[in-house]
């Protein structure tokens, strides 16, 4: 095999060191019953049209003023076979966003490059392609609905008397001194199987004022691992609808011909099992670090020997059995 000169460090034992990736938050979230874990990005994914660069927002609770922060499904910029695949795509027709031309294809496997984080370097997120991805529908469901103590690990909040949204807490959460937190289940939220969390008591409305933080107080929460998802609304027809009221966060999983599965919320509900968005709507994207199982899956399928991740020429490769594989498992010659 042709030998390559590696232009960056080798990351051994098929795992990144804790907090090794620029832009990841400290809180660790388990995403399935196998114990795989991820860290959320420091803020919303953004695209800068003038420079064709990607970045994370500087703060969790808002997008930067000079960037696009709403995306149709699978618009990473990679030609997936969909009619619309550029981050600036504005078509409202859901059929224009069928990756591979098929409504059932997900942003995984052969179409993984349609995932924004897998295809693109994030300039303040390590600046290498392949370090990040979106959660699958099943992973969103696990975090919001299925993990142990799930009802105590989310809540509604307003930051700086302005920014409304939902907080998710990491699995090993310890409330820091100087702040308080009221979880959703302490504020009349009840779980509906196959749907999500809803306030079923119409006389006692859960709302974004359940938790109110100054910027200084939110900094304390963030340092302890809390993740905030601002209610950004969605973009359609060139108009942002329901900002500071509704939130829609993309998954990599197709739902039907019109919709993708999404993490969806308003001030009375938080949905994962049945959360969805029209594929042609521009929604928020919050990336996570890739769990080790993304790489071990390649290892387990092809070898019993341990794999190592390497960074070369702006992309993540897997070094195994003397071969270099890309993030989809294909050999790089």
- Say whether pLDDT at 307 is over 90: no
Question: Domain range holding 285?
Answer: 20-115+134-291
- Segment among 73-87, 133-147, 188-202, 270-284 with least mean pLDDT: 188-202
Examine residue 11 and state whether it is found in any structural domain, yes or no.
no
Question: Any residues with CB less than 8 A from the CB of 5 and at least 6 apart, and which?
Answer: none
pLDDT attached to residue 316: 66
Residue 195: pLDDT band (50, 70, 90) is confident
Choose among 183, 175, 206, 226: nearest CA to 61.
226
- Say whether pLDDT at 19 is over 50: no
pLDDT attached to residue 157: 97
Do the Cβ atoms of 45 and 72 come closer than 8 Å?
no
Examine residue 332 and state whether it is found in any structural domain, yes or no.
no
Compute φ and ψ for 134, nearest 5 degrees: -90, 160
- Segment among 5-9, 17-21, 154-158, 311-315 with least mean pLDDT: 5-9
Examine residue 6 and state whether it is found in any structural domain, yes or no.
no
Q: What is the pLDDT of residues 125-181, one digit of tens each?
A: 999 999 999 999 999 999 999 999 999 999 999 999 999 999 999 999 999 999 999
Q: Using CA atoms, how far apart are residues 97 and 83, in angstroms rounded to an integer?
A: 6
pLDDT attached to residue 200: 77
pLDDT attached to residue 312: 67
Examine residue 3 and state whether it is found in any structural domain, yes or no.
no
Examine residue 309 and state whether it is found in any structural domain, yes or no.
no
Higher pLDDT, 318 or 10: 318
Question: Any residues with CB less than 8 A from the CB of 23 and at least 6 apart, and which?
Answer: 41, 42, 56, 122, 124, 125, 126
Q: Using CA atoms, how far apart are residues 10 and 29, in angstroms rounded to an integer?
A: 25
* Total domains, the chain: 1
pLDDT attached to residue 86: 98
Examine residue 14 and state whether it is found in any structural domain, yes or no.
no
pLDDT attached to residue 207: 87
Helix ranges restricted to H, 230-314: 293-302
Higher pLDDT, 234 or 305: 234
Q: What is the pLDDT of residues 275-287, one digit of tens each?
A: 999 999 999 999 9
- Say whether pLDDT at 8 is over 60: no
Average per-residue pLDDT for the chain: 88
pLDDT attached to residue 1: 29
| pTM metric for this prediction | 0.86
Examine residue 321 and state whether it is found in any structural domain, yes or no.
no
Do the Cβ atoms of 71 and 115 come closer than 8 Å?
no
Do the Cβ atoms of 321 and 305 come closer than 8 Å?
yes
- Say whether pLDDT at 6 is over 70: no
Examine residue 310 and state whether it is found in any structural domain, yes or no.
no
Q: Output the DSSP codes for 130-175.
A: TSEEPPPHHHHHIIIIISTTGGGSEEEEEETTTEEEEEE--TT--P
- Segment among 124-133, 215-224, 312-321 with least mean pLDDT: 312-321
Residue tagged 């992309």 (tokens):
315
Average pLDDT over residues 240-244: 97
Do the Cβ atoms of 171 and 222 come closer than 8 Å?
no
């Amino acid at each position: 095999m042709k030998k390559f000169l590696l232009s960056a460090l080798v990351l051994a034992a098929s795992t990144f060191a804790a907090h090794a990736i620029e832009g990841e938050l400290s809180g660790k979230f388990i995403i399935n019953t196998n114990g795989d874990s991820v860290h959320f990005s420091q803020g919303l994914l953004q695209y800068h049209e003038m420079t064709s660069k990607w970045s994370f927002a500087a703060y969790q609770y808002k997008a930067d003023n000079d960037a696009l922060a709403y995306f149709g499904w699978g618009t990473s910029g990679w030609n997936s076979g969909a009619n619309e695949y550029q981050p600036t795509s504005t078509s409202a027709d859901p059929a224009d966003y069928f990756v591979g031309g098929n409504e059932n294809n997900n942003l995984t496997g052969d179409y993984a490059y349609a995932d924004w984080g897998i295809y693109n370097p994030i300039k303040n997120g390590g600046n290498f392609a392949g370090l990040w991805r979106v959660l699958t529908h099943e992973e969103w469901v696990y975090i919001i609905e299925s993990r142990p103590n799930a009802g105590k690990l989310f809540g509604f909040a307003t930051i700086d008397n302005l920014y409304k949204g939902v907080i998710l807490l990491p699995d090993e959460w310890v409330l820091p001194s100087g702040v308080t937190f009221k979880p959703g289940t302490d504020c009349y939220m009840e779980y509906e199987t196959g749907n999500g969390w809803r306030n079923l008591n119409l006389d006692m409305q859960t709302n974004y004022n359940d938790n109110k933080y100054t910027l200084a107080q939110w900094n304390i929460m963030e340092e302890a691992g809390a993740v905030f998802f601002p209610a950004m609304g969605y973009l359609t027809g060139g108009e942002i609808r329901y900002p500071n009221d509704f939130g829609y966060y993309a998954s990599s999983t197709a739902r039907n011909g019109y919709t993708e599965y999404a993490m969806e919320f308003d001030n009375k509900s938080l949905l994962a099992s049945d959360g969805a968005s029209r594929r042609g709507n521009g929604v928020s994207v919050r990336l996570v670090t890739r769990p080790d199982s993304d790489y071990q899956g390649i290892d387990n399928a092809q070898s019993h020997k341990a794999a190592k991740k390497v960074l070369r020429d702006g992309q993540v490769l897997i070094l195994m059995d003397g071969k270099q594989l890309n993030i989809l498992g294909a050999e790089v010659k």
